[in-house]
Every structure is written in C-alpha cells, then in structure tokens.
Amino acid sequence: MFLKRLEVVGFKSFAERVGIDFVPGVTAVVGPNGSGKSNVTDAIRWVLGEQSAKSLRGAKMEDVIFAGSESRKPLNFAEVTLVLDNEDERVAIPYTEVSVTRRVYRSGDSEYLLNNQQCRLKDITDLFMDSGLGKEAFSIISQGRVDEILNSRPDDRRSIFEEAAGVLKYKLRKKKAEHKLVETDENLNRVLDILHEIEVRLEPLKIQASSAKDYVRMTEELKDFDIALMVHDLLAHEKTLQKFEAEHKELSTSEKKHAAEITNLEQSVRKIRTDLKAIDGVLDASQEQLVEASAEVERWEGRRALFNEKRSNAEKQTQQLKLNLQQATQSVNELELEQQEKRQQFTEKQKVVQEIRSSLKQIEQALTRSASEIEQEIEDAKNTYINLLNEEATVKNELKHIDQQLSQEQASVERMTGRSSEMQKELTTVLTSKEVTEQALQQAELALQDQLGRFDVVQMQLKSSTADLDEKQDLLYKAYQHHQQLKARKETLAELEADFSGFFHGVKEILLARDRKELEGIEGAVAELIQVDAKYSQAIETALGAASQHIVTDNEQHAQRAIGWLKQKRAGRATFLPKTVMRSRKIQHQQLMDISSHPAYVALAYELVQYAPENQTIIENLLGNVLVAQNLEGASQIARLCGFKYRVVTLEGDIVNAGGSLTGGALKQQSSLFSRKAELDKLVTTLADMEATIQKAEKTVAVKKEEIVQLRHSLEELKLQGESLREQEQVHRSKALELDMTAKSLKTTVSITQSEQSSLSTRKESLAEQQQVAHKRLEELRTELQDIQQTVDELTLAKTQSETQKDVLREQLAQKRSELAVAQEQLTQVQAAIAGIELNLTKAQNLVEKISQEIEWVESEDGLNGPSSEELAQTILDWSTKKDALNETIQKNRASRTVLHEQMTEAEIQLQEVQRVHKSYMDALRTLEIKRSRIDFEMNSMQQQLLEQYELDVLTAQEEAIGIEDEEQVRRKVKLLKQSIEELGPVNLNAIEEFDRVQERYAFLSEQREDLVEAKDTLHKAIGEMDEEMTERFNDTFKQIRQQFSVSFRELFGGGAADLVLLDPENLLETGIEIIAQPPGKKLQNLSLLSGGERALTAIALLFAILNTRPVPFCILDEVEAALDESNVARYSDYLRKFSEDTQFIVITHRKGTMEGADVLYGITMQESGVSKLVSVKLEEQSELVGQGSGK
C-alpha cells in the first residue's frame, strides 16, 4: 500500500484545487517559510479524521476553510481527498484503490465519503485502526512529535510505545469494558434493591391474592345462585301477573258498565239541575220586574199629586213677583235722575265758593298794608339802588381782570396742545409695535396651547394604550393559561376515550379487540354510536343504564364469535345487540298524543339523541318506549296517564318505573360516557376558537405595542416642539412687556399733559363763564336800577291814595265773608243729598236682582215644565198592566219548579246507589293494581339488579341460569355464601393480578440478576485477557524497539550507545520509559542532559527504531530534521533513503541534504498573497530549486 494522490481545494491557503501525485520512495515538498507547505501535512491528517482544531493550528474547525485575501473572497467550504493504493489489501476493504474525502462547510456541516459514498467518521477511524495509517499513528510525524518525545515525562512517553505496540484498541476496549462493568455494578445494585422491595411485598400480596381468589370463587358461585333465584322469582311473578290480568279484565268490565250508568245518571241530574237553575233564574227576574213595576206605579201616583199642587202655587207666586219687580225698576230709574241733578248742583256751588275766597284774599292783602310800611319800602328801595351802583362798579373791575387772565390761559393752551400732539404720535408708534408684538405673542400662546393640547392628547393616548396593552397582555396571559388547562383536559379525555375508560371490563376488551382487527362485525358500544345534547345527557344516561355499554354487531354470528372470544380469553362479559334480530319498541300513537299534551312532557327518549339511520332499530328498541319529563312530579303524572306501563325519566335522572316504583336521589359527580364525549367535542371547538382568539389577541398586542412605540416617538417630538414654542412665546412676552411699560409711561405723560390741557381749558371756560356772568350781571344791575327807580315813584303815589281806599275795602271784606258762609252751607247740603240718593239707589238695584232670581227659580222648578196630567195617567196605567202579567207568570213557574225538585230527588237516590257499587269495583281494582305494582316493582328491581350487577338482561339471564331443584336449599346456600364473603372482610380484588404481575416481575428481575452477575464475571475475564494481551504486546514491542534503537542510534551518530529503561518493570501496563544516550566520546547520560542537536537526533533515532519495528506503508515527515546541523542532516538523509526501500516517505523540508536525497520534488509557493500554489519542477531545474530552498 502507498499514497497515490492528494487533492485539496478551499483548505487553509489552497484557494484553488491542487493535486499532488506521489510515487514510491522519497517525495519532498519544499518551499519558503509561510508558503503553506505544512498545510499539506495538515490536509492529510484532517482527511484521516483529525477532530482537534488546535492540532491543525486553528481555533475552530471553520478556520481550515480559506478565509480570503486582498484579491479573493472567502470560500464557503473546504475539501480534501486522499487516494491510496490497496493492492496488498492492507486496508480491509474489497477495493484495490481507496479514496477518502472529507468536506466541511462554513455553516458547520461536514461530510465524509469513502470511495465517493457517504459514511461516518467512525467508519473511517475503524477502517484505519491498527493499520499504521490513523491520524495518531506513526505514518505522520511532525516537529511537534519530536518535541513530544524530547519533552514528555517518562509516564507520558509510554503512549508512543503503546501506539507502536498496537495496544491502543485494546486500551479503548478495556476502557469500554470498565465503563460497562461500572454500569453493570450499578444495574446489579439497582436490581437487588428492587428485588428486596418486591420480596417484602410478595408475601402479603400472596395472602391477599388467595383471599381474592376465594372471594371471586364464592362471588361467581353466589352470582349463579342469585341469577337462578331471580329468574325463578321472575317466572313466578309473571304467572301471578297473568292471574291478576284476568281478574283485572273482569273487574274492569263491571267497572266500565257501572261507570257508563253513572255517566247517564249524572247527565240526567245535570239536566234537571240546569232546568231548575233556568226556572230559578226566570223567577228571580220576574220577582225583580214585579218589584220594579209596583215601585213605578207608586212613584208615578205621587208625582201626579205633587205636580198638581206645585203648579197652583207657582202661578200665584210668579204674578206677585213680577209686580214687585216692575215697582223696584221704576224706583231705580227715578233715583238715578235725581243723583245726576244733585251732582251738577255740587259742581256749581264749588266754583262760587272758590271765587269768593279769591276776592276775600285780595281785599285782606290790601287792608294789611299801611302808610309807614310804604315809607319803609321806599327807604329800602333807595338803599338797594345804592348797593346796586356799588356792585356795578365791582363787576366792571372783575371784567377787566378776567380779560387779562383769558389772554394768558390761551397762550398756555396752545403750548400744551403742541406738546401733547408730539407725545401722542410717539404713543401711537409704541402702541402699534405693542399690538404687533401682542398678536405674535397671542399666536405663540395659541400655538403653544395647541401643542400642549396635542401633547396631553398623545400622553392620554399613550397612557390609555399602555393600560389597554397591560389589560390585553393580562387577558392574553390568562387565555394562554386557560388554553393550556383546556388542552390538558382535552388530552386527558382523549386518552380516556382511546383507552375506553369507564367501560365494563368485558366491553372494553371487545372494543380493544375490534380496534386491533381481532374481531369483525363489531360496530361499537351504544354510547359510541349516539350523540346527546348536554342538557339531556343525564336523562338519556339514566334511561339507558348499563345498556349504554351494550355492543352493537352486524348479526348474530358476529355476536356469538365475540362471546366465544370473551370466554376463550376469560376477559369478562358483555351484552350484544345484533342488528338482524333487534326489533323496535314504541308507544301507541293515540296514547302518545294524550301524554304529549301534558305540560311536563319533554319527548320520547330516542327523539333526544342523534344516530346513524342504520342504527334506528337498535335505538328504538332501547329508548322507543321511554318517556322524558321535566321533573319528578310531572313524571309521576305522565306515568299515571299511561297506566304505569312505561318507564318515565326526568332531566335530573329520577325514574318512575313501569308499575309505579320510583328511583331517584343524588348522583355522584363523575364524568359519564356521554358527558365525556360531549365535553371532548366541546373542548375541540372551544380550543379552536381559543386559538383563533389568542392569535387575534397576539396580533392586537403586537399592533398595540407598535402603536405605543409610535406614540412615545410622537410624544418626544411634541415635547421638543413644545420647548421651542415656549422659548418663542417667552421672547414675545418679554418684548410685549417692555412695550407695555413704555406705552404706560407715555400714556401717563400724555394723560398728565391732557389733564393740564384740560385744566387750562376748564379755567379758560370758567373765566369765559365768569366774563359772561359779569356782563349779564351788569345788564341785570342796570335793569334793577331802573325798576327800583320806578318802584320808588309808585310807592310815593300809593302813599297818597291808601287812606281814602281803606274804608271801601273794609265794607267789601264784610260782604264777601257773608257770601262765603252761605255758599259753604249750600255745598254741604248738596253733598248730604247725593249720599242719601246713592244709598237708596243701591238698595233698589239689589231688590230688582233678587226678585228676578226668585222669578227664574219658580219658573224652573220640577213639575212646571214636565209631562201633562194626561201623560201621567197613561204611564200609571201601563205599569199596572205589566204588574198583573208578572204575577201570573210567577205562579206558573213556581208550579214547574216543584215538579223538577221531585224528579231530581229520585235521580240522586238512584245515582248514589250505582256510585256505591262502582266504588266497590274501583276499590277492588285499586287493590289489584297495588298488588300488580308491587310485583312490577319487584320484577323491575330484579331486572335492574341483573342489568347493573351482572350486565344481563332477562332473556340472557334465563338462558344462562342454572336449574333449581330445591329452592329452599339454594336460598340456604346463598345465605351461607354471603356470610362467608362477609367474613372475608375487605378484599383487594386487584391483588390477584398484582400478585401475578409482581411475581412475574420478581422472576424476570431474578433472571436479570443472574444475567448481570454472569456479565460482570465475563467483563472481569475480558479485562484480564486484554491486560495479558497488552502486556505481552507491549513487552515484545518494547524489546524490539529497544534493540532497533540501539542500532539506529549508532548509525545516526556514527558510534556511541543508547538504551531504553523501564522505570517499573513489574507493572508493564503502567510503567514509564526513560531514554539513556551516550553519543560518541561522551559518557552514558539522561536525554535531558544532551545538547539540542543531540536530543533531536536521538529522538529521530527512536522514531526510526519504531518504524523499523512496526513498518508502515508510508510516512509523512514534517520538518523533523529542522534542528540538525548539516552533517547530521546528511546522515538523516542517508538513513531515510535506506528505509525508503520498504516505506514511502513524503518529506516536508527546506534542508538541502534532505532535498538531495529525494526522488521527487514539489514546490509550494505563494505568488499571490495568501494563496498557495503547486509549482511543477522540471528535472533540470531541480538543482536550482534545491539551492533556493537551502538559501531560504
């Protein structure tokens, strides 16, 4: 065997595919440092299965893939293929040529191919194990391997010799065997512990199983006797029922006959009573009409008398009242005329009095003024005249002063007006700037408010969305929890459904056998074949009872085969319903119509379930004659309507059995077959809905989260915008404040100026007013002066005339006073007359109104406008005639009533006698019905007991029942069996099966224990044999290497001596190895004491000794001679050539001596940075290439 070819692509620096063809002898791979020539060794080691990235000079396995360069992209995979010649079949594979390929991808995936067929790494490792070609074998020797020999401790150096001895596979096998031995010990201890636990349980279980077997035996025997007795009693009850049926039929005939007679008599009595009631009604009506007619006659007679009397009185009273009314009206008219005249006189008298008083006042004033007074008045007038002259002079002076002040004030006003105009212009400018600034401020405030509003809105939205997200996440989490709970519940129910949990043992085994295809024609249990609404499940479950577990088959043959299978397997019992022989059971249509009208009626039981059409006969057989009612009270009433012939169940599960017995009470809260199936179907739908809801909720939460992110982003943007707007608003506010202060200052100044200007104007106006007043006063003074002068003249004249006129005035005064007294007296008289007239007028008007009311009342009184006397007489005659006719009718009806009373008395006596006889028949029927109901109840109880306790119907029980020769003896046996069973006490029926299972497990574990003990001994023996084999192989190989090492050392060193020493010869499996060397001219010493070159050459001598002891088909040497000097390299090269006759060498080197000894040279260059390439070397260029390699 030898290496034929190496192909590399994408491995380390080999970016392009490179192929190296090897030939026998020595092939040297040369190249400058860093060119990638050692990558050839790494490629061979890697393709042979190297798993350590560190050994390949990398950190991780992906590092072997070409990583790219400045001009090349990284590759995504690395591949190395090694082709071997296998003519000598050194590798145990039937091929003359072996191709091994390894690939690795940057994703981490890797592939191994053997002759282009995919394989495992283990396949390659096993193929080359102990062939000398493994990744750890001596077929690949690098400088690191030489350092390992030189620097290893004696104990670690032993591995080199073990590898040469080929004991690595034994060590691996020993390690596996020791691991198995530990596992075997652990398993053995575990089995021993379990066996101990089982031994503790086994004896009590054996006792319990024995008791359980006795219990089962006695129970089966009791069952046979019990079934036989119940069948016997059922047959006896059936005979009794037949006898009762005949008696019932005879009694019913007689009862119906008398019932019909009673019906006829009751009809007669009812007819007579109806006639009596009609006559009594007529009599009562006639009596009422008679009383009414008598009352009307009397009423109309009295009314006629009263009418005549009232008519006479009313006519007289009306005539007198009309006369009084005429007189009163005339009096009112006269008083009104008199009142008008007196009022006119009063007005005239008032005018005369006023004129007299005015004349009297003038005369009195003229008399009171005397001559001295006139003189005084003249003096006063003169003084006033002087004062007025003085005042006139003063006013003229004031006018002059006012004219001067007006000139001064006018100049000040003009000056102030100019100043005010200038300041007003400045104020206008400031106010304009202020208005502009305030508008900008207002806009900034509005923008800021709008921004704050949007900020608050977004903040509220964020808060709301966050709260909504929390709520939705909470709901989603709860939905997850609820979904998991429902899913767990569904899985549990599905497991129970698949395992047929809740079915009787025999039924369960049949259904499992059906699913295993062991039985044919099994359609399923009744509970599997129907669907029931949840609200009716309790009623249907009660109605079916154990029949819900009856098994429906295609025909009788399949049912018989299933029963045979149960017997053969001893797998329990089951009831079968062959579709070919089952018949429907229904209630008669007419009877069902009567029952269905009852308010408590729900439906027939089979109408409340869903089933396949082909199963209709089966369902009608089981539920066709079972009625469903709302409640127990309604069920009892419905059962009574149908004569207790059918079973009635309620929605709550109570039963009114055929015959009248009642079954009911509280049910244990457990999952039934129907409720479990319904719950499972509901859970499937609910889970699907929940998953859709959860998916929708997850999307909603994701959308809400994205919404919150957007809101937070918007909030941050709004916050930044708000800060900017707030700064703008602050700038505008500061400017507005500054302008406002300037405007206020100007306004104050303008206001002061205007105030001063106003004050000047006011003073000016005041002066003008004073001037006007002064001029006016001056004119008034002049007028007054003229008036006073005239007054003085008149007073002087009056003084002369006053004495002559006084006497005349006194006479006129006395006359006027007398006239005034007369006029006042006349005025008083006229006022008194007017008051008297008004009083009399009021009384007269009241009298007229009163008389008119009396006339109206008299004329409207009853009787005056009513019927006439002739009409009253005719009405009285009509009522009298009607009264006589009613008296005659009443007498006739009383006679008919007496006759009907006599007929009713006779009929009631006859009815009572027939009812008495009918009651005796009814009592007899009731007694018979009670007896029949009692027997029905006992039969139903026995049938129910057979069904629930033994899973048998009556027909099956009759077929399986044993014969009874002595009933009393059988009953005694039953009693004894029950006592024996009771004496057993609590029995663990599972103990039989558990004991068999535990005993079987005990036997199995005992066998396991023996097998483990045997395996342990086998492993110990195998480990001993492997130790012997490894010891022998190591000892033989060590002796050969020791001998060869001595030879190779002398040849490489040209003399001297070397030896290998075992540190612990008694323990060859663990001993360390020391290397002793004595180069020529030196003493024998330890390897560590030699020089570097001597140590390296000694290590190479040892490697050649190992190769000589355990030859390999090829060997790769990677710069192992790097530390040698030229002379030693030459000896190394010669020794290499010597070995190349039997071994193919691939040498990685850059030493001249090694190159000279090579048969073929390959050059590795890196013309492109980071990319290694193989350079073909012609023979004539070999010398030059060697020279370049030596120079490098």
The amino acid occupying position 984 is L
H-only helix segments in 519-672: 526-529, 537-544, 556-569, 589-596, 616-623, 632-641
Strand 1114-1118 and strand 140-142: the pairing is parallel
Answer whether residue 81 shows pLDDT above 90: yes
Backbone angles phi, psi at 522, to 5 degrees: -95, 110
Q: What's the pLDDT band for 102 if we cut at 50, 70, 90? A: very high
> How do residues 890-910 score in pLDDT, each as one tens digit?
777 778 877 877 777 787 788
Q: What's the pLDDT band for 302 if we cut at 50, 70, 90? A: low
Backbone angles phi, psi at 97, to 5 degrees: -135, 130
The amino acid occupying position 401 is H
> How do residues 731-775 score in pLDDT, each as one tens digit?
777 777 777 777 776 676 666 666 666 666 666 677 677 767 777
Q: Which residues contact 693 (CB under 8 A, 6 or more apart)?
A: 479
Distance separating alpha carbons of residues 869 and 865, to the nearest angstrom: 12
Answer whether residue 869 shows pLDDT above 80: no
Answer whether residue 1191 shows pLDDT above 50: no
Of the listed ranges 236-250, 323-337, 904-918, the one predicted with least confidence: 323-337
Distance separating alpha carbons of residues 640 and 646, to the nearest angstrom: 10
Instruction: Report domain extents, the chain.
Output: 1-139+1149-1166, 526-676
pLDDT of residue 767: 66
| The token pair that represents 679 in the structure block | 């719950």
658, 940 Cβ separation under 8 angstroms: yes
Q: Is 354 exposed, middle or buried (0-12, 13-18, 19+ CB in 10 A)?
A: exposed
Of the two residues 522 and 781, the one the predictor is more confident about is 522
Architecture of domain 526-676: 2-Layer Sandwich (3.30)
| Fold held by 1-139+1149-1166 | Rossmann fold (3.40.50)
| The token pair that represents 619 in the structure block | 């369902």
pLDDT of residue 661: 83
Of the two residues 421 and 372, the one the predictor is more confident about is 421
pLDDT of residue 1180: 40
What angle do helix axes 990-1053 and 1126-1139 make, rounded to 10 degrees? Answer: 120
Average per-residue pLDDT for the chain: 78
> How do residues 486-520 score in pLDDT, each as one tens digit?
776 677 677 667 767 667 778 888 888 888 888 89
The residue among 205, 143, 418 whose CA lies nearest residue 1092 is 143
526, 577 Cβ separation under 8 angstroms: yes
Q: Beta-carbon neighbour count of residue 553 at 10 Å? A: 25
What average pLDDT does the segment 198-211 reach? 79
DSSP β-bridge partners for residue 27:
1146, 1160
Helix (H) or strand (E) holding 352: helix 168-368
Largest CA distance in the chain: 208
Distance separating alpha carbons of residues 935 and 941, to the nearest angstrom: 10
The residue among 1186, 1150, 1177, 1151 whose CA lies nearest residue 35 is 1150
Q: What's the pLDDT band for 452 if we cut at 50, 70, 90? A: confident
pLDDT of residue 1111: 79
Q: How far is CA 904 from CA 269, 283, 294, in A?
A: 6, 19, 35
Rg (CA), the chain: 73
H-only helix segments in 1060-1113: 1092-1109
Q: Which residues contact 153 (CB under 8 A, 6 or more apart)?
A: 1072
Q: Which residues contact 676 (CB under 8 A, 6 or more apart)?
A: 493, 496, 497, 502
| End-to-end Cα distance, the chain | 34
> How do residues 666-725 score in pLDDT, each as one tens digit?
654 444 566 667 777 788 888 888 888 888 888 888 888 888 888 878 877 877 777 777
Q: Is 116 left (phi over 0), alpha (psi -120 to 50) or beta?
A: left
1168, 1134 Cβ separation under 8 angstroms: no
> How do residues 799-816 score in pLDDT, each as one tens digit?
665 555 555 665 666 666
Distance separating alpha carbons of residues 185 and 189, to the nearest angstrom: 6
Residue found by looking up tokens 């008791």 in the block:
211
539, 605 Cβ separation under 8 angstroms: yes
Residue found by looking up tokens 């059936």 in the block:
238
Q: Is 130 left (phi over 0), alpha (psi -120 to 50) or beta?
A: left
Backbone angles phi, psi at 530, to 5 degrees: -125, 155
Q: Is 1000 exposed, middle or buried (0-12, 13-18, 19+ CB in 10 A)?
A: exposed
Q: What is the 3-state secondary structure (H, E, C) of 397-419?
A: HHHHHHHHHHHHHHHHHHHHHHH
Q: What contacts 24+ positions apart, CB below 8 Å, involve 873-879?
A: 873/304, 875/300, 876/297, 876/300, 876/301, 876/304, 879/293, 879/296, 879/297, 879/300
DSSP β-bridge partners for residue 641:
none
